[in-house]
Amino acid sequence: MLAYAGSFAVFALLTLISAFQAYSDEANYGLARAGFTAYLSVPAKRFLIYALLAPTVFWMVRRRPFSRAQLAQSFVLYGAAAIAFTLAVCAIRLALFPRYFFGAGPPLPRTLATLWQLARDNFIVTTYAAYLPMVAVAHAVELRNVARRSQLEEAALSRAVAEQQLQLLKMHLHPHFLFNTLQGIRTLVRRNPQAADEMLSRLRRLLQSAVQHDHSDLISLDQELQFTDAYLQIEKVRLAERLRIELSISDESRQCLVPHMLLQPVVENAIKHGIEPSSAPGWIRIAARVSGGELHVSIVNSVSKTGSSSAGEGVGMANTQARLRSLYGSRAGIDLRFARPGEATVAIYLPASRRQTPEPRPISSSITSEVHSAG
Q: Could you tell me what percentage of the chain is helix, strand and coil, using 3-state DSSP and rounding each to the nearest 5?
A: 65, 15, 20
The whole-number pLDDT of residue 360 equals: 40
Cβ of 348: how many Cβ atoms within 10 Å?
A: 22
The whole-number pLDDT of residue 373 equals: 36
Count how many residues are written for the chain: 375
Q: Does residue 163 fall inside a structural domain?
A: no
The total number of structural domains in the chain stands at: 2
CATH number of residue 329's parent domain: 3.30.565.10
150 lies in the same domain as 202 = no
Q: Does residue 352 fall inside a structural domain?
A: yes
The whole-number pLDDT of residue 248 equals: 93
The whole-number pLDDT of residue 35 equals: 63
Q: What is the CA radius of gyration of the chain?
A: 37
223 lies in the same domain as 354 = yes
The whole-number pLDDT of residue 309 equals: 47
Give, for 8, the enclosing helix (H) or strand (E). Answer: helix 2-28
34 lies in the same domain as 111 = yes
The whole-number pLDDT of residue 165 equals: 57
The whole-number pLDDT of residue 109 equals: 83
pLDDT by 10s per residue, the chain, length 375: 555 566 667 767 776 777 667 667 666 666 666 666 666 667 777 778 888 888 888 899 888 888 877 888 888 999 999 999 999 988 988 888 776 555 566 777 888 888 898 888 888 988 888 888 888 888 888 888 888 888 887 777 666 556 555 555 555 545 556 676 777 777 777 777 877 787 787 777 777 766 666 556 788 999 999 888 888 888 887 787 888 989 999 999 999 999 888 888 888 888 888 888 887 888 999 999 999 999 999 999 998 765 554 444 556 677 788 878 888 888 999 999 887 888 899 999 999 998 654 344 444 344 333 333 333
Is the four-CA dihedral 147, 148, 150, 155 of positive or negative sign? positive
Task: Mark 266-290 as b/e (b = at least 16 C-beta within 10 Å).
Answer: bbbbbbbbbbbbbeeebbbbbbbbb
Tell me the residue range of the domain where 329 lies.
192-371
310 lies in the same domain as 199 = yes
356 lies in the same domain as 288 = yes
| Listed residues 108, 135, 154: the one ending a domain | 154
The whole-number pLDDT of residue 2 equals: 57
Cα–Cα nearest to 225, from 263, 173, 267? 263
What is d(CA 326, CA 159) in angstroms, rounded to the nearest whole number?
Answer: 10
The whole-number pLDDT of residue 240 equals: 77
The whole-number pLDDT of residue 25 equals: 67
| Listed residues 154, 175, 201: the one ending a domain | 154
| Listed residues 154, 170, 204: the one ending a domain | 154
Q: Does residue 183 fall inside a structural domain?
A: no
What is d(CA 75, CA 133) in angstroms, rounded to the nearest whole number?
Answer: 16
